[in-house]
Amino acid sequence: MAEQPLIPPRGKVNLADYSPDYTGSWDRESAQEYVQMLREQLSVLQNKLYADGRHAVLVILQAMDAGGKDGTIRSIFTGVSPQGVEVTSFKVPTEEERSRDFLWRVHKRVPRKGMIGVFNRSHYEDVLVARVDGLVAESVWRKRYDQINEFEELLTESGTTILKFFLHISKEEQKKRFEERLTDPGKHWKFSLGDLEVRKRWDLYMRAYEDVLEKCNRPHAPWHIVPANAKWYRDLVVMETLVQALARLPLRFPLAEAGIENIVIPD
């Protein structure tokens, strides 16, 4: 299979060009070994990010239902100190949230310096479900791409590294995962009848995602199209991208207080 770019090149994005089955030259076993190694690096880097306290990282996860957002979070952050990670799952906006601008609830949840913030869904729902379901007028959601870009630019310029991941599964893979949710009583809670309504509009969602991936893919806040039918490859891609981004930050431990070298701890 031809190499598949992770960050789409500038211009129109056609999701049909991106295979959700793509796994590069990896196999499950070597990928899992590599992820284990990355997990150790992530733990060390996250500790340094926290101690340093000058940078924040924001991981944004978007996907269709059963796309693997929850599973990715579980897999990536296993082994990282819970104190340094803050996960926010964005649901249908409440009355209070709906009576403000769409970024109000999002801005409140961005990570402070030293933290990794994870968004399970995000402000992108406001140009995805809001657009496909016509929750707001077209004249309203059309403006949001620019508003999102400016918002993300503000965050970046304030010391936040933004990484955006679209977990790309096929419609067939969603069917398989929905069927598992229906047969396994431990997964019933993950399925709702509304998910079938959304599935009916699959193609409209793909068009809406393509627009997001074109209009909001900026060098300061890039979108990654993650082939996500194979969960182990999805984890590898997200993990590697996050570790590399952290490794690029000029992290350092704060300097010791003056005079520390002569201290003797009293009995």
Provide the binding-site residues for ligand AMP, judged by CB under 6 A: 90-93, 121, 125-126, 129-130, 135
Q: 93 is in the binding site of which of ligand AMP, Mg ion, none (Cβ under 5 to 8 A by kind)?
A: ligand AMP
Q: How far is the CB of 83 from ligand AMP (least distance, A)?
A: 25
Q: How far is the CB of 129 from Mg ion (least distance, A)?
A: 12
Residue whose C-beta lies closest to ligand AMP: 125
Closer to ligand AMP by Cβ: residue 23 or 120: 120
Residue 226 · residue 22 · CB < 8 Å: no
Closer to Mg ion by Cβ: residue 65 or 152: 65
Tokens for 12, please give them.
């129109």
- Between strands 116-120 and 85-89, the pairing is parallel
Q: How far is the CB of 71 from Mg ion (least distance, A)?
A: 13
**DSSP character for 254?**
P
Tokens for 157, please give them.
């310029």
Q: 90 is in the binding site of which of Mg ion, ligand AMP, none (Cβ under 5 to 8 A by kind)?
A: ligand AMP
Q: How far is the CB of 91 from ligand AMP (least distance, A)?
A: 4
Residue 61 host element (H or E):
strand 56-63
Closer to ligand AMP by Cβ: residue 125 or 173: 125
Q: How far is the CB of 105 from ligand AMP (least distance, A)?
A: 8
CA dihedral 189, 163, 226, 36 (to 10 degrees): -80
Closer to ligand AMP by Cβ: residue 73 or 251: 73
Residue 257 · residue 198 · CB < 8 Å: no
Q: How far is the CB of 140 from Mg ion (least distance, A)?
A: 25
Q: 173 is in the binding site of which of ligand AMP, Mg ion, none (Cβ under 5 to 8 A by kind)?
A: none
Distance CA 39, CA 239 (A): 8
| Interacting span for Mg ion (CB under 5 A) from 57-65, 70-78, 119-127, 164-172 | 57-65
Closer to ligand AMP by Cβ: residue 15 or 135: 135
Q: Which long-range contacts (CB under 8 A, 24 or more apart) does 86-90 make?
A: 86/111, 86/115, 86/116, 86/117, 86/118, 87/117, 87/118, 87/120, 88/117, 88/118, 88/119, 88/120, 89/120, 89/121, 90/119, 90/120, 90/121, 90/122, 90/123, 90/125
Closer to Mg ion by Cβ: residue 55 or 234: 234
Q: How many residues bind Mg ion (CB under 5 A)?
A: 1
Contacts to Mg ion by CB under 5 A: 65
